[in-house]
Structure 1
Amino acid sequence: MDLQRVRLFLFLCALIVSVKAGDIVHHDDKVPKKPGCENDFILVKVQTWIDGKEDVEFVGVGARFGTRIVSKEKNANYSRLTLSDPRDCCSQPRNKLAGDVIMVHRGHCRFTTKANVAEAAGASAVLIINDQNELYKMVCEPDETALDIHIPAVMLPQDAGRTLEKMLSNSSSVSVQLYSPRRPVVDIAEVFLWLMAVGTILCASFWSASGAREAAAEHENLLKDASDDLSYTSSGGVVNISTTSALLFVVVASCFLVILYKLMSTWLIELLVVLFCIGGAEGLQTCLVALLSRWFKLFAHSYVKVPLFGAVSYLTIAVSPFCITFAVLWGVYRDLHFAWIGQDVLGIALIMTVIQIVRIPNLKVGTVLLSCALLYDLFWVFLSKKLFHESVMIVVARGDKSGEDGIPMLLKIPRMFDPWGGYSIIGFGDILLPGLLIAFSLRYDWLAKKSLRAGYFLWTMIAYGLGLFITYVALNLMDGHGQPALLYIVPFTLGTLFMLGRKRGDLKKLWTTGEPDRPCSHMHLQMSDEWSEER
């Protein structure tokens, strides 16, 4: 088994979805706002009571027209629920309404017609049941003018309507409350997610730079000793990205994304979960072995041959069962409310392992890779709507066509003070790709023996944190619509490196070799070539 190939494959899978997704319902914004039809689309909670006892709660979306729905539960009216007769409410209801909330089917007439008929019959609100299990934003038709609807209208999904109808048929009295609590401007979950992303890159960068410095020091020692085996390579299993592979990333990743979009189903999500478990377990093992080897050096440097895997250290053998068990348990119980912890642990371990293994050799490759990733994000988040009539990236990230919660290649934290619940999420690509560039800057600083302030790592790290912060600001300003984080992160990180490199005169070295000038090393390399030829 070639573990490097497995890691690189999972690396590509991890980069497929790097959008910062929000709560997005099916939308139709082609019709502009007009007088009487200018409400913002808001999510609405529909709390039910059966014979005076509180029961289930449903979530709907408010219409562009009608009275605005109150935001506080204590201000919401407690009203009886009545099923319309006829069901579509396209004509005057036969049953009398006295401030009741009327439930109607979508039918064939306009949404505004239903609301006008319900208001004329004395209803206090209208619940329109969609004919599909999704939330549809109700707008006004272009030819509708002088709208004057004074009751709220809310769209509910089909399954909610079926449940409500069953309640009405089995109970003597069903009552509802409609209210739309406001989301906090900033949830503490977004702060923790920001710290998680920045902390992951920070730790992975130091791990990568430490390994590069140790390998460089060992290589220098070998060059000074002519009697040693000079065929030694200091790569240590490191994979350097080339310009060609950076360009191919867009093509391969786009093909893989389209496959996910077209074949999105439960079995495909399950396959991605299995791949994530394999990559997460392998990443967690690599991280634990690297950490524990400082205290258990004897076990870390003692090896035994294992079929298919070759020489494996005793420490790896001891750690592997725990990592595999952890990944399997997460895969089995990933639907539990606390399973996000296991997903984040496996995800962070995978990200750190990839940043330690995959390296950007110079700024040229880093610029090509991040620029291609940015174009990839912009196309599949925004421009793909023109070809597929929906954002391919967001559909794949949310797993809309699979019946599942979405792909697992995300870090997520539950929103703690959000009345609507849900998760704040960030794609692996938003951490991995900038992390490769930031790790490159730290390796350069250490090889050039630059101080923290005189180097590049500190400033690119700050630029990343600022870019990610602006992503969250944009997400809130865009009313929860999905935002590609790389749109903000790439200009900040690359721009910082270019600006400082040009100002300090290091831009040429950063762009070409990615290493400071070391004349002694060139002399030793020439001598090693001569010694190799003689042998």
Structure 2
Amino acid sequence: MRHRLYARLHGLVILIFQVSADLGVLRVTNYVTPPLSSDYCLVYNSKWTHLPQTSNNATSYVLKNIIYTELCKNSDVPAGGIKDEAVAVMRGNCTFVEKGRIAQAAGAGAMLIASEDGLVPPSGNQTDYDNITIPVVMIKSRDILDVEKTLGKNVRVQLFSPPVSVFDYSILIIFLIAMFTVSVGGYWSGVPDEDTGGRSLSDSGNSEKKQSDKNVSFTVFTVLIFVAVCCVMLVLLYFFYKYLVYVVIAIFCLASALALYNCLSALVTKITVGRCRFTFRTKVIEVRLLFLATFCIALAVIWAVFRNEERWVWILQNILGIAFCINFIKTLKMPNFKLCVLLLILLLIYDVFFVFITPFFTKNGQSIMIEVAAGPSSDEKTGGDILEVPADTPAPQEKLPVVIRVPRLMNSAQTQCTVMFSLLGFGDMIVPGLLIAYCRRFDVRIDSRIYFISCTLAYAVGMVIAFTVLILTKMGQPALLYLVPFTIITSTVIAWRRGEIKMFWKGSSYEVLESSRKPLLQDDEPPGVISE
């Protein structure tokens, strides 16, 4: 059970982040051999500098590269002058305002301040900057060196800042992934019951008992222990993140590889070809399943090795994560609606507490949930402006791999500066998915589809509401705050309207109680005679 418990340790929060409006694009073009050009990231202070939104409206300047100097005094201005040029200088021991004054006095059209550390918006006294009319922006020194290497010295530059869109289509991808996961996991959970004619686990024969051995069912006690362990582990991760993160990564690799194998083997065994077998120590091994196991392990190992490659490794993490959630939902079965309600409400309280209440107790005012979900010192945990663009060679930031991550489909300024992700915690799929799975199995028992379909649609509506609130508030949201009420209320209303609320509430235990009754009278015996 250990590998299953950590799925709720964090990630019960949707995080979709806006990128600061102070990010822009530096477009560099070789004016001798056009249209050879490249785009680079720049950071500026919108209170000081106004940049056009498109390159069509941006002024073109000849680039004067003098990053060997800091331009902190008038004598630093090159002999040839910098009139009407964009001058690139090194960040140094004088203020941004002092650099801007010297460049403007020399007739420069724009100032590019190169930094070897990180990029922060130029700052200083607003009154001092009022007299500076030229754009002053920050760029990476690495980018200026790359310009000279790839485009040469005869280049012109344009500075502009594309607008940040309110809606990002990565939200739609997250939504589709969540719906696919809970639908497949919930439907698959009911397949064994469907194969046994809808009988409950308690009433089934030996074949059903073998199937139940592969599944795990909750009780009231295990629900309480489960939630308590989640709380303790989340707090431990908050205080000992840099140590425990590697434990979670190792568990994720093992659990996700096993889950992916379970999911794919169900498909592979349907294929009628390639059933070659061999015997190893009295065990019969099927070759195609051996290759499948190797593939699943290799996928998990590749993710572990390249887990900090932001540009593409999220694809592997999502594949492994989806398999993990589907396998969790179809394996761990809730015996009745009563335990579903208990589990979902307790985890809802857990979710809201660690997102909204814990900021009042932490030193930095950040919620424990978001701090753990995005990783300490991560830009992804902020719902507002980015205050700093990473340095040229930032150290990789280890993050808990228990979220679905989809890169924001961003404009060019955001793409050049940093990779931002929309995140959805595994728990936001697993926890409601357990209720959806119970509805599916209950449908099988009563020969219906209404509970599974209605609960899945309620989950979709809850996700849409959560995304809407997130976009409007620009704050990370505890998704269970919306998913739990919609799924529980919808399932309750359906059961009440159909007159099945008692059976739905007690689940298989209700069926056992009804089926265990034995008549006291035989059909052929008169009243008052008790058969022996």
The two structures have a TM-score, normalised by structure 2, of 0.72
Cα 1:221–1:399 shift into 2, 3 Å: closer
Paired residue for 1:429? 427
> What SS does the aligned partner of 1:71 have?
coil
In structure 2, C-alpha distance between the alignment counterparts of 1:169 and 1:338, rounded to whole Å? 27
Counterpart of 1:18, as a letter, is L
Q: Structure 1 CA distance, aligned partners of 2:273 and 2:27?
A: 60
**Which of 174, 177, 180 lines up with 1:193 in the alignment?**
174
- Please give the per-residue CA displacement for 1:381-433, whole angstroms capped at 9, x wherever unaligned: 44444404134444444445572473332323445574334444422122111
Query: Residue 279 of structure 1 is aligned with which of 241, 245, 255?
Result: 255
Structure 2 counterpart of 1:77? 59
The offset of 1:202, in angstroms, is: 0.9
Q: Pick from 325, 333, 337: which aligns with 1:351?
A: 325
Unmatched 5+ residue regions in structure 1? 26-39, 527-535
Q: Equivalences for 1:254-265 in 2 at 5 Å?
A: 254-265=231-242
Cα drift, residue 239 of structure 1: 1.4
Asked if the contact 1:269–1:407 (Cα under 8 Å) also holds between the matched residues in 2, the reply is yes
1:19 to 13, 19, 32: 13
Kindly tell me: are residues 200 and 125 of structure 1, through their superposed partners in 2, closer, same or farther at Cα, counting changes over 3 Å? same
Q: Which of 346, 351, 357 matches 1:377?
A: 351
Q: Aligned ranges for residues 121-140 of structure 1 at < 5 Å?
A: 124-127=109-112, 133=118, 136=120
- 1:177 equivalenced with 2:158 (yes/no): yes
Provide the residue aligned with 2:301 in structure 1.
328
> How many Å separate the matches in 2 of 1:505 and 1:117?
82
Contact 1:434 / 1:489 at 8 angstroms: preserved in 2?
yes
| Equivalent residue for 2:468, pick from 469, 473, 483 | 473
CA offset at residue 439 of structure 1?
Answer: 1.1
Q: Percent identity?
A: 27
Deviation of 1:205 after TM superposition, in Å, equals: 0.8
Q: Shift of residue 357 of structure 1?
A: 1.1
Could you say if the C-alpha distance between residues 114 and 250 of structure 1 is closer, same or farther in structure 2, counting changes exceeding 3 Å?
Answer: farther
Matches for 1:208-357 after TM superposition, within 5 Å: 208-214=189-195, 217=198, 232=209, 235-265=212-242, 271-295=247-271, 316-317=289-290, 319-334=292-307, 335=309, 337-357=311-331
**TM-aligned CA deviation for residue 250 of structure 1:** 4.5
Return the letter of the residue paired with 2:440.
Answer: L
Partner of residue 402, structure 2: 409
Range 503-512 or range 356-365, more displaced: 503-512
Q: Deviations over 1:243-263 (max 9, x none)?
A: 444344454334433444444
Give me the whole-angstrom Cα distance separating, in 1, the residues matched to 2:104 and 2:215: 69
Alignment counterpart, residue 41 of structure 2, candidates 47, 59, 74 = 59
The number of residue pairs the alignment matches comes to 487
Write the deviation string for residues 46-84 of structure 1: whole angstroms up to 9, x where unpaired: 344689786764434442413432221232223335669
> Is 2:121–2:137's contact at 8 Å kept on the other side of the alignment?
no
Structure with the greater relative contact order (CA < 8 A, sep ≥ 6): 1 or 2? Answer: 2
What letter corresponds to residue 321 of structure 2 in structure 1? G
Aligned to 1:35: none
- The SS at the match of 1:282 is helix
Asked if residue 459 in structure 1 is aligned to residue 454 in structure 2, the reply is: yes
Give the TM-score of the pair, scaled to structure 1.
Answer: 0.72
1:484 aligns to what SS in structure 2? coil
Aligned equivalent of 2:186: 205
Q: CA deviation at 1:172?
A: 5.8
Query: CA–CA distance in 1 between the matches of 2:467 and 2:233?
Result: 27
Of stretches 310-319 and 322-331 in structure 1, the one that deviates more from structure 2 is 310-319
Give how far 1:138 is off. 6.6
Q: CA deviation at 1:282?
A: 0.5
State the alpha-carbon separation in 2 of the partners of residues 378 and 137 from structure 1.
34
Partners of 1:523 and 1:296 lie apart in 2 by 45
Asked if the contact 1:66/1:151 (under 8 Å) is kept, the reply is no
- CA offset digits 1:113-170 (Å, max 9, x no partner): 876786677554555667953x5567788x97996875555455xxx24654897999
Q: Quick one: structure 1 residues 366 and 132, their matched pair in 2 at CA, closer, same or farther if it must change by over 3 Å?
A: farther
* Pair 1:22–1:207, CA change in 2 (3 A): same
**After superposition, where does 1:356-367 map in structure 2 within 5 Å?**
356-367=330-341
Greater displacement, 279-288 / 512-521: 512-521
By how many angstroms is 1:355 displaced?
0.6
CA distance in 2, matches of 1:449, 1:338: 44
